[in-house]
């Protein structure tokens, strides 16, 4: 076999192996998207009921709470960025990071000091590489977040917001995550989580213009609010984590699908080249044989005479 042909054959073999791997990753990601979507759906009843309860308290009790009061001159803000632990997901992480950076710049332009809280190894690596300060980081659960993980993330954030700004607390909490729209579309979105706007919550529950019953609070409106609001924040963060996980798997699936497609194309091109090389080799061999036998017959014809 010719040297040229051998090189092509070797490259085809290696691309085929890569294609097998990306194909497998695509299929794994596809099944994980479905699982993650199911988890988002399973968490919806709790989120809906919780939102309804929050609207109920907000109309029933006019109590002030650190999680709902707007500070007049906010000076410190926290940004929670949700990325993934692993890459190979196309632009998934860089979109989220870019969005977080834009938000950070905007907040800094407003004269606020920004604390970054990051979930996922990719985001942490990005910030560490640029030697930026990270106020809090979590890793290890981005593929399949559980409620306990959301609680672990929410805990320090709620603590920070309840603290006075002078003692290192924050006035606002923003969250940047990737919203799962469909298998093909995922958008990096940012939203202000705290202080909570109760009007917005009511709008979300679809009960803004509804007449709500007068609730009896047990033990008291203030106590219920105290217990309810942190749970609400946790549930929002849980939802964001789940959506982010679903988006990551969808992005991985898409990235791996185009990798598989590209590998297929590469294999096609390489096989064409290999075929051409083989054909050239055969043609050369034939012409060598023909040339050789012609020379031979010429020689014998000469000796006969």
Cα(94)–Cα(294) distance, rounded to whole angstroms?
67
Q: How far is the CB of 46 from other proteins (least distance, A)?
A: 5
Q: Give every CB contact of residue 104 below 8 A, 6+ residues apart in sequence.
A: 79, 114, 116
Cα(301)–Cα(305) distance, rounded to whole angstroms?
7
With beta carbons less than 8 A apart as the criterion, state whether 243 and 177 touch.
yes
Q: Give every CB contact of residue 232 below 8 A, 6+ residues apart in sequence.
A: 50, 51, 54, 196, 201
The yes or no reply on residue 204 touching other proteins (CB under 8 A) is no
Q: At what angle do helices 92-109 and 121-129 cross, to 10 degrees?
A: 50
Q: How far is the CB of 243 from other proteins (least distance, A)?
A: 14
Name which of residues 219 to 248 contact other proteins (CB under 8 A). Answer: 219, 223-224, 227-228, 231, 235, 238
Q: What does the buried/exposed string (b/e) look like for 17-44 if buried means 16 or more CB atoms within 10 Å of the residue's CB? A: ebbeebbebbeebbebbeebbebbeebe
The yes or no reply on residue 147 touching other proteins (CB under 8 A) is yes
Among 3, 109, 214, 301, binds other proteins (CB under 8 A): 214
The yes or no reply on residue 124 touching other proteins (CB under 8 A) is no
The yes or no reply on residue 127 touching other proteins (CB under 8 A) is no
Parallel, antiparallel, or unpaired: how do β-strands 76-82 and 172-180 relate?
parallel
The yes or no reply on residue 32 touching other proteins (CB under 8 A) is no
Question: Residue 18 or residue 207: which is nearer to other proteins going by CB?
Answer: 207
Q: Count the residues of the shown chain that bind other proteins, applying the rule CB under 8 A.
A: 30
Name which of residues 47 to 86 contact other proteins (CB under 8 A). Answer: 49-50, 52-53, 56-57, 60
Annotate each residue in 154-193 with x if it binds other proteins (CB under 8 A) or - if it does not, as one string.
Answer: ----------------------------------------
Question: Residue 53 or residue 266: which is nearer to other proteins going by CB?
Answer: 53
Q: Which stretch binds other proteins (CB under 8 A): 103-111, 210-218, 247-255, 289-297?
A: 210-218
Cα(304)–Cα(295) distance, rounded to whole angstroms?
15
168 torsion bin: left (phi>0), alpha (psi -120 to 50), beta (else): left
The yes or no reply on residue 152 touching other proteins (CB under 8 A) is no
Reduce the DSSP state of residue 241 to 3 states and report it: helix
Among 164, 216, 298, 304, binds other proteins (CB under 8 A): 216
Interface ranges with other proteins (CB under 8 A): 39, 42-43, 45-46, 49-50, 52-53, 56-57, 60, 146-147, 151, 212-219, 223-224, 227-228, 231, 235, 238
């Amino acid at each position: 076999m010719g040297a040229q042909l051998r090189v092509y054959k070797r490259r085809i073999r290696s691309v085929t192996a890569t294609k097998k791997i990306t194909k497998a990753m695509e299929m794994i990601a596809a099944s994980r998207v479905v699982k993650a979507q199911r988890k988002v759906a399973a968490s919806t009843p709790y989120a809906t009921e919780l939102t309804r309860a929050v609207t109920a308290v907000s109309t029933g009790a006019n109590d002030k709470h650190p999680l709902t009061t707007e500070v007049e001159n906010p000076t410190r803000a926290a940004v929670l960025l949700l990325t993934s632990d692993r890459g190979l997901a196309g632009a998934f992480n860089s979109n989220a990071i870019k969005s977080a950076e834009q938000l950070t710049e905007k907040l800094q332009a407003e004269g606020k000091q920004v604390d970054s809280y990051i979930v996922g190894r990719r985001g942490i690596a990005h910030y560490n590489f640029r030697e930026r300060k990270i106020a809090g980081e979590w890793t290890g659960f981005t593929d399949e977040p559980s409620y306990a993980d959301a609680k672990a993330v929410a805990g320090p954030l709620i603590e920070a917001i309840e603290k006075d700004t002078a003692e290192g607390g924050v006035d606002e909490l923003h969250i940047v995550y990737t919203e799962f729209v469909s298998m093909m579309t995922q958008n990096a979105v940012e939203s202000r989580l705290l202080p909570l706007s109760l009007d917005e919550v009511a709008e979300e529950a679809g009960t803004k213009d509804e007449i709500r019953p007068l609730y009896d609070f047990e033990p008291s409106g203030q106590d219920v609010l105290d217990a309810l609001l942190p749970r609400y924040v946790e549930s929002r963060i849980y939802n964001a984590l789940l959506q982010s996980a679903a988006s990551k798997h969808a992005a991985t699936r898409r990235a791996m699908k185009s990798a598989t497609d590209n590998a297929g194309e590469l294999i096609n091109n390489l096989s064409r080249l290999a075929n051409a090389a083989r054909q050239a080799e055969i043609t050369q061999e034939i012409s060598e044989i023909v040339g050789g036998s012609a020379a031979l017959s010429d020689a014998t014809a000469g000796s006969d005479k």
